[in-house]
Chain A
Amino acid sequence: MKNELIDFTLYLADNALIIGHRNSEWCGHGPVLEQDIAITNISLDLIGQARNFYQYAAQLINEENTEAKATEDTLAYLRDGWDFKNSLLTEHPNGDWAQTITRQFFFSVYQYYLYQQLQNCSNEQIAAIAIKALKEVTYHVKWSSEWMIRLGDGTEESNSRLKKAIDNLWMFTGELFDLSAYESVIYSAWNIDNDKIKNEWESKVKGILEEATLEIPVNATWHQSGGKTGTHSEHLGFLLAEMQSLQRAYPGNEW
C-alpha cells in the first residue's frame, strides 16, 4: 500500500507539473494579453498543485528509505522519462490554441471529478490538497469550457481547428480511466469510484461539445496508453530536456 501511495501521489504530481509546464510555454505567446495571463495563471495553479503532491511524495519516500533524501525538486528535476507517470494527454505538445484549449478542457474536467472524490478520501494530506486545488480547477473547467464553445461555435476556421484538435487528442483520453496497478490498489482502499468519474467526465464533455456544435468522435474506441507506467511518447523527452536542464547542469542550484 505504501508503494502504491507513493506511485499514485507521483502520478497526481506529474500530471499537474507536465501540463502546467506545457501551458507555461505559452507565456508571452498568447493570442491576446488577457488570455496569455489566463493560461500562465492556470500554469501557476497546476505547478503549485504539483509542488504540494511532490512534497508529500518526498516525505513518504524518505520515510521508507532514510537514505533517499528526496525533495520536491529532486522529484521534478532529477527523474528520467521512464520514472514519470503522467498521462500521455498532459505531455502532448501545445500545437495551436485549439489544441491547447482542448487538452486543458479534457484534463481539467478529469481533475475536477477525480478531486471531488479525493477530497473525501481517508488520506488526510491528499484530501487537503484536493480540497484546496478543487477551487482552482473549478475556474480551469469554466475557462476551458467557455473557450471550447467560443471556438466550436465561432468561425468556420475556429470550428475546423477545434474539430481537428478533438480528433487528435481523443485517443489520449481513454488512458485517464484505464486504471494502473497502483491506482487500482488506492481506489479500492479509498473507495474511489472510477466508473463514476468516467461517466461524469463523458457527460460533461458531451454537453460542452454539443454547445460547441461538435460531437464526440464516432468509432473512436481504441486508445493510446502507457504514460501512467512510464511508457511515454517521444514528446516527453524534449520537454524534460528543457525543463530539467538547469538542475542537471548545476545540481542543487537555487534561485
Chain B
Amino acid sequence: MVIIKVGIEQTIQSIWQLLESVCDPEVPVLSVIDLGIIRNIEIENDKVIVTITPTYTGCPAMDVISMSIRMALLEKGFKNIQIKSVLSPAWTTDWVSEKGKEKLAAYGIAPPNTKQVVCSPDAFAEEEAIQCPRCRSYHTKLVSQFGSTACKALYQCEDCKEPFDYFKCH
C-alpha cells in the first residue's frame, strides 16, 4: 500500500500536489487548489478524507468536482476515499490563490479584487473598479451582476469595448 511505504505526511503532500491537476469544470484554467475550496486532507488508517467547501450554494459544478477528485485519487491507487463537504467557514474569493488570479486574467476573466470589498445590498451602490483583462483599463462598466455562471458578473470595457466576465467578490 502506497501510504505505508512513504509515510502519512508525504502522502498528504502528494495528494495536495495531485489536486493541482483537478480543474473547475466551469472555469477550466483554475484547479481546485487555486479556487481555495480544498479545506483539509487527512488520512485515517487507509482512508483518504478530502474536505471541500462549496463556492455558491447552488453551484452545479460541486458534484462534478467531487467526482473528479475521487477519479484522480482512484487513478493513483487510493481505494478508500471520502469527500466531505463543509459550509463553515464560508468560502470567499479571498481564498483564490495569487497564481489562480493570474491564470484568470490570462484567460480573459477579471480576477476578484484582492481586498475583500463588503458587498452592499443598497440599490445602485457604487461598484468597485474592475480592470479590463484585455487592455488593463479601469474605465469599465457593469452590465449585469449575474453572468454565465454563479461566480461571475458581466462587465464591458469602455476603452477597448471588450465585454468580459468578472469573478465577482464573494
Chain A: residues with CB nearer than 8 A to chain B? 34-35, 37-38, 41-42, 44-49, 51-52, 112, 124-125, 127-129, 131-133, 135-136, 138-139, 141-143, 145-146, 148-149, 208, 211
Query: CB < 8 Å: which of A41, A51, A138, A211 contacts B146?
Result: A41
Query: CB < 8 Å: which of A38, A48, A133, A135 contacts B145?
Result: A38
Q: Is the interface of A mostly helix, strand, loop or mixed?
A: helix
Contacts of B125 in A (CB 8 A): 142
- Counting contact residues on chain B (CB < 8 A from A), the size range is 20 to 34
Q: Is the CB of B87 within 8 A of A132?
A: yes
Query: CB < 8 Å: which of A112, A136, A143, A148 contacts B56?
Result: A136
Interface string of B112-150 (1 = CB under 8 A from A): 000000011111110000000000000000011111101
Q: Is the CB of B119 within 8 A of A143?
A: no
Q: Is the interface of B mostly helix, strand, loop or mixed?
A: loop
Check if B74 is an interface residue, CB within 8 A of chain A. Answer: no
Chain B: residues with CB nearer than 8 A to chain A? 54, 56-60, 86-88, 90-91, 119-125, 143-148, 150, 154, 170
Given that A37-B148, A44-B58, A48-B59 are known contacts, is A138 also in contact with B87, CB under 8 Å in the complex? no
Contacts of B58 in A (CB 8 A): 44-49, 51
Q: Is the CB of B123 within 8 A of A135?
A: no
Contacts of A127 in B (CB 8 A): 88
Q: Is the CB of A52 within 8 A of B57?
A: yes
Given that A128-B88, A132-B87 are known contacts, is A48 also in contact with B148, CB under 8 Å in the complex? no
- Tell me the bound Cα distance from A138 to B144 in angstroms: 15
Contacts of A48 in B (CB 8 A): 54, 56-59
- Tell me the bound Cα distance from A125 to B90 in angstroms: 12
Given contacts A131-B90, A138-B121, 4 further A-B contacts (CB under 8 A): A48-B56, A132-B57, A138-B119, A141-B121
Q: Is the CB of B146 within 8 A of A132?
A: no
- Tell me the bound Cα distance from A138 to B119 in angstroms: 7
7 contacts between A and B (CB under 8 A): A34-B146, A41-B146, A44-B58, A128-B86, A128-B90, A131-B90, A208-B123
